[in-house]
Structure 1
Amino acid sequence: MKVGGQAIIEGVLMIGRNVSIAVRDNKGAIVVEEISKKTPSSSKLFKIAFLRGIISLYYSLYYGIYALDRSAEISSGQKMKRSETIFSLLLAVALAVGLFLVLPVFLTNLLKFLKDNEFMFSLVEGLIRLGLFLLYVYVISLLKDVKRIFQYHGAEHMVIHAYEANEELTVENVRKHSTIHPRCGTSFMMIFLIISIVVFSLLGSLISLGLTGKVISRIVLIPVVIGFSYEFLRISARGSKFIKILASPGLILQKLTTATPNDSQIEVAIAALRKAIDEERNTNCKKDSEGPEFFG
């Protein structure tokens, strides 16, 4: 059974047989909750290549948003208003689309010498998009609160490594493992940005689009790029040495998005995974290679 997860506020979300979270509350206790019995593996669409990437990303975002909201409540001891969550989500989506899809097109359009070369326009635009993303990750990595989330991110990866190595989930065993994981959402984002450069450059070499057409095409083709990126992520996690070399930029980027956790944070990640794999009722479960690939 493959598992995956996400770092949340003072805790970790894990997806296995079910979807569970573990969060350290404001009194120092670990609160563990099962938030859903439904996972991507329950969808028949997950068996369809390229489409399963969109399905997996949907579930990751859906449960991730709920888990962030719930973890904020548990860690602070205060109830979150639904209207605040919806507004924050809409703002985040608008900023992401504006910063990483629309802005690179407008910045590249300022370079007049690229106006008549669609292929080079798309290539430069993609490099600008990649640069903006790397700058964004670097800037947020300097924030104190984000650093704690990155520590939980590292703890999540280390615990999954221990589980996949068929080791007992203890702090001592987990501590031996790396904070870098090949199925990480950070690697997916890097792969997404690189593949988007290829897709949009090829599109530019085939079709001449105006400024508005370029912006629309970037948004419309998001599902296509997601599909290709997810399949490459699956292959790179267990592929040849050459494929792993191609995927290495995402692993390198994880040096920024993960940090070495303390024992307290590892304990939280262990609690989340134990609940997600339903360890109490499945003490002899096999960590096989079948089933869907979740983001690590």
Structure 2
Amino acid sequence: MNNFSSLKPLIPYIKLTAMSFFFGGVFVAGKTIVGEVEPAIAAFLRFAIATLMLLLILLWKEKQIPIPTPSQFAGLAALGLTGVLGYNLCLLIGLETVSSSRSSVIVASNPVFITLMSVLFLGDRLTRRKLVGIGLSVSGAILVASHGSWNNLTDFSSGDLAILVCAICWASYSVIGRYVLNSLSPLVSVTYASAIGLTMLLPFALHTADFQTVRSLGTSAWIAIMYMGVFGTVCAFLLYYQGIQALGVIRAGAFINLIPVSAIILALFILNEEIDVSITIGTLITILGIFLINSRQKTAIGTNQ
């Protein structure tokens, strides 16, 4: 019991680290299905699987489906719009032309957007240590995904723009989620957001629907879609919101910078890509940045911690 109590403060960090690996796998899984199925259909299938699982888990835990108030529903609809419709359509559209490594480094800009939005809309206080930590963690993520060569990050394309919009959508989802979590649990919030986002995705899926293509999808494509639905949505979204609830938006958002690291590590095993010195150094820099963001500091910029 004493051993468990000593580990309890680490649980949010363990959950967020696991979240980053689940999200990293989405880039690898998403890359395997581009070209086989339209982005809107892939996103719809992902969240159809996720919504069904989340509803079953919610019924099992709560014995009923809670009915949100009108103001809560407005927040949940905003979560569906940003974290499900916007994020996933832009991600899958971007992955059609952008590599998983390059995509993951653009997503590494997430903590910057999250921090700016948190300061502007949530009144979060920004310490010098957090600023340094954000700079280090983003730099480490860029070093990892670029493999130490600036040339790998040049020539910004329309696919890159889609991934950047995807990052902004996720930052919005994170900040809006902080409001929603004041009155609803992570499970209820993620379930409703997934269901509402699924409804929003339906017109796009129907517009591009090619049911023959869906019927002809191979085993590897269905495994990728199942992974994105179960691990990349149900597990990752719940762990992320639990992390936000425990640590706040800025500190939890810093773990987004582990996504390029996890994406490349998973690509090593799944796609037989190599790990070079830049990945090792970048990973260590990213971890140092996350440590600084999550450490305490007495004096904040313009206020007290």
When normalised by structure 2's length, the TM-score is 0.27
User: Could you say which structure has the higher strand fraction?
Assistant: 1
User: Could you say which structure has the higher helix fraction?
Assistant: 2
When normalised by structure 1's length, the TM-score is 0.28
Q: Rg: which structure is higher?
A: 1
Structure with larger RCO (C-alpha < 8 A, sep 6+): 2
